[in-house]
Amino acid sequence: MTLNPRLRQFLQAVASMFVLLAAWQIASFFFPYYLFPPVQDIVVRTVRILVNWPELKQVLETAMRIFIGLAGAFLLGSLLAIPIGRYPKLESYITPFLVFLQGIPALSWVIIAIIWFHGTEFRIAFIMIITTLPAFTFQVLDSYRSMSKDLFEMTMSFRPSAWTLFRVLIVPTILPGILTAWKINLGNAARVVVVAELVGATGGVGYELLRQQQLFDMAGALAWTIQLVLFVLVVQQVIVWVENWLLRYRPVSERAA
């Protein structure tokens, strides 16, 4: 029997999840509650967050912070990448700076942001943007560089204005790379955001995690973590849909099943 490859993939994922949950459940019989709470308790807590508005609001708050950070890093990254793409000489000046930024841990930014700035939201936005900016810049730059010289000259032969060139050639060229960059950076941002929320947020997943730690509530800690994972999964899927629609022109080889 041959299964539809996507269905098979799905079943494989379910099977591995099932093994993990079973192992957890067995552990819950032998260890104290605060170390391994039973699976059903975690599920109940997870669902409760989703259906309880004040709690769901905090998840959305964190989602919003991720989004603002990514959008800001994307805009700034594009603003940096396009001039570097056009004038390659700039690269030797800007790249070392970005590489340097990339090496700084998120936690250091938390400290810096607390010392430098007032206002929780501003601090969080700063941390989110600064931690995802280098990757966004490099990714946008790479996709800009993949632009075909032939198509560029063909378009130029009609003498477009800078804006038209951007719209008809540059945007479609860099779009696939940008979507990939969003997918990659989304995961990074979701990990950074809970750290960034340590700057004194009074709401959000990071704040709730800290509270669960103080209460020694493992089920709660996991339930809040799962919210973030679910958020990333849902947004990834949305990006994949958008991608499939925007990039529908791409041929698929029949060999590539």
Partner 1 sequence: MADPLIRFREVTKEFSRPDGVGTFTAVDRLSFAIEKGEIVAVLGKTGCGKSTMFNLLAGLIEPTSGKVDVAGHDPFSEFNAFRGKMGIVFQNDRLMPWRTALDNVVLGLEILDAKRAEAEIVARRWLARLGLSGNENDYPHALSGGMRQRVSIARAFAVEPDILLCDEPFSSLDEMTARDLRAEFVRLVKQAGKTAVFITHHINEAMDVGDRIMVFHRPARIAYEARMDAASREGSGRQAIQDEILKVLSLETGEGMPAAPVV
The mark string for 83-102 relative to partner 1 (x by CB under 8 A, - otherwise) is: --------------------
- CB neighbours of residue 44 within 10 Å: 13
State which residue, 171 or 240, has the beta carbon closest to partner 1. Answer: 171
Cα–Cα dist 90/135, whole Å: 17
153 binds partner 1 (CB under 8 A): yes
| Runs of H (alpha helix) within the chain | 5-30, 39-51, 53-86, 91-102, 106-116, 120-145, 149-156, 162-165, 171-196, 205-215, 218-246
Q: Largest Cα–Cα distance in the chain?
A: 74
With b for 16 or more beta-carbon neighbours within 10 A and e for fewer, the 211-246 pattern comes to ebeeeebbbbbbbbbbbbeebbeebeeeeeeebeee
State which residue, 234 or 247, has the beta carbon closest to partner 1. Answer: 247
164 binds partner 1 (CB under 8 A): yes
State which residue, 169 or 194, has the beta carbon closest to partner 1. Answer: 169
30 binds partner 1 (CB under 8 A): no
242 binds partner 1 (CB under 8 A): no
State which residue, 155 or 236, has the beta carbon closest to partner 1. Answer: 155
The mark string for 171-190 relative to partner 1 (x by CB under 8 A, - otherwise) is: -x------------------
52 within 8 A of 60, measured Cβ to Cβ: no
State which residue, 41 or 145, has the beta carbon closest to partner 1. Answer: 145
156 binds partner 1 (CB under 8 A): yes
Which residue stretch of 8-16, 17-25, 100-108, 155-163 sits at the interface with partner 1 (rule: CB under 8 A)?
155-163
Cα–Cα dist 37/39, whole Å: 7
Q: Site residues (CB under 8 A) for partner 1?
A: 150-151, 153-160, 164, 168-169, 172, 247, 249-251
